[in-house]
Amino acid sequence: MSIPTLSAFTDDQLREAYAFQVRQGYRGDMGRTAAAMALLEDDGTIADDDMIERLAAEIGRAVEESGAHD
Domains of the chain, by residue range, sit at 11-65
Q: Residue 5: pLDDT above 60?
A: no
Residues 6+ apart with CB under 8 A from 66: 11, 15
Task: List, for residues 14-23, the tens digit of each pLDDT value.
Answer: 999 999 999 9
Task: List, for residues 47-67, the tens digit of each pLDDT value.
Answer: 899 999 999 999 999 999 998
**Predicted pLDDT at 68:** 73
What three-state secondary structure class fits 46? Answer: coil
**CA–CA distance, 52 with 33 (Å, rounded to integer):** 7
- Give pTM, 2 decimals: 0.85
**Predicted pLDDT at 33:** 98
Q: Residue 1: pLDDT above 50?
A: no
